Structure 1
């Protein structure tokens, strides 16, 4: 994905590493801990919990990448509101497993108001507007308009969208896979005020925008290469006038609109 990108995906995983100055960070988006509880409550769907697998995969990735910090780009939790019952138990166990090893930062997503309050002592919480971290890496969830200060970053990482691509084979079959989207950000489309919120310097040298796949494979997503598909983030797809899609294994699919 280019020469020495500031944010480097971990091959085969919905995760990336980034240099944050003195720290090497592991970044993931949309963990949706407790999703099985939510699906049971919301839709009456009964699924075996994968809580242990999610936690173990995160802990293993921290070790494998030599990360000094975990940054979750929003939606650490699945259900909106204060977590309780099995969901709270999963969150407590996951957060403890991570923070016993490295500090944990949560960029507040639309599902995270309750978890951010419940675990404020254990987490470094970044508000919904996002923040530019050391190393000029901007982080935001993506459910609301971001703080224009993110345009000062070299690269902006966002979640919320859960990008997926629908791929067809030669005999008419199809499959859906999680994907990354990467491309130069259009500053005017990224800010709520449009061109009025963009300075000349920002417009001349815009950051790269990286849309993360969901860490949780059960959380569904946006089929980005299907015509007429509605996006979730208020700045997408307009803020990515040209972007390539990549599979988790690193395969470059090219312009996501033409896959």
Structure 2
């Protein structure tokens, strides 16, 4: 297929996306840089709850910020890669939300570069974050259908990924906020954030004209890319209970595009096929 300008040069070794134990985050090496990947930060979520639902919840912005800063200190990346929904409001960020993001970006290490994939909640974030006030000079905002960095494809997941993203070794996305409902022997239950990992299933992609020429869709002997669905970084936002019957997934290509999907807890516990957890 024709070269896509959003795709960088391929790496010589297979891409590896490694979850950070105990965290809703992963690391990868892209373009010779160490990157840490997170999804669905949803800055300003508490303000959104007050406006949308009339629910008054104290702001946890400082806690979110400190958790992300601790993660950066632990992993020491060159780049932070946000897989969409950095902010919560659909339009331009409001006062509390914008203030949260300004303090967050001012707290980042000076040498850190930031790439933000636009999510469905990110509105016109590029007019403020990258092209407007420029609270940091080293911020890149890319479309929600994604970009490829070496052989790691990233998108938000609320829309179909760009063709180049499907040609990557591994596709990373957010949007879904996967969770599992776990029950104990006495009938108690709890909900925990989870990872979903598997291979891309070609079925939902083959009939879409934009994917004509994607090699693994046309050659049965070629292994499909891996898919990694990230848990939400924001622990208040809830999500899709992937092991509860009747739950609707949010992404147009999940779960149909996920083959042999397995669930993992943040601590690395493998739960097995997500439907049977």
Q: What TM-score, normalized to structure 2?
A: 0.87
Residue 190 of structure 1: how far off its partner (Å) = 4.4
Q: Which residue of 1 aligns with 2:176?
A: 161
**Secondary structure at 1:95's aligned position in 2?**
helix
Structure 2 stretches lacking a partner, 5+ long: 1-13
Q: Which residue of 2 aligns with 1:231?
A: 249
1:251/1:69 CA distance change after superposition, 3 Å? same
Q: Which residue of 2 aligns with 1:131?
A: 147
Residue 235 of structure 1: how far off its partner (Å) = 0.1
Give the whole-Å Cα distance in 1 for the aligned partners of 2:96 and 2:201.
Answer: 42
**Secondary structure at 1:175's aligned position in 2?**
strand
Aligned residues: 255
User: Is the aligned partner of 1:69 residue 2:79?
Assistant: yes
Give the whole-Å Cα distance in 2 for the aligned partners of 1:157 and 1:51.
Answer: 25
Question: Structure 1, residues 191-225: CA drift from partner, whole Å, max 9, x if none?
Answer: 77079635444552211000000000001100001
1:91/1:195 CA distance change after superposition, 3 Å? closer
**Secondary structure at 1:64's aligned position in 2?**
helix
- Aligned-residue CA RMSD (Å): 1.8
Matches within 5 A, 1:99-178: 100-120=110-130, 121=134, 122=136, 123-134=139-150, 136-178=151-193
Match among 240, 250, 256 for residue 258 of structure 2: 240
Residue 91 of structure 1: how far off its partner (Å) = 1.0
Give the whole-Å Cα distance in 2 for the aligned partners of 1:70 and 1:54.
Answer: 15
Give the whole-Å Cα distance in 2 for the aligned partners of 1:200 and 1:83.
Answer: 40
Question: Structure 1, residues 81-103: CA drift from partner, whole Å, max 9, x if none?
Answer: 00121111001111222263401
**Secondary structure at 2:248's aligned position in 1?**
coil
Match among 31, 34, 43 for residue 41 of structure 2: 31
Residue 145 of structure 1: how far off its partner (Å) = 0.9
1:7/1:86 CA distance change after superposition, 3 Å? same
Q: Which residue of 2 aligns with 1:216?
A: 234
1:243/1:229 CA distance change after superposition, 3 Å? same
**Secondary structure at 2:127's aligned position in 1?**
helix
Residue 5 of structure 1: how far off its partner (Å) = 7.1
Structure 1 stretches lacking a partner, 5+ long: none
Give the whole-Å Cα distance in 2 for the aligned partners of 1:77 and 1:193.
Answer: 31
Q: What TM-score, normalized to structure 1?
A: 0.93
Q: Which residue of 2 aligns with 1:179?
A: 194
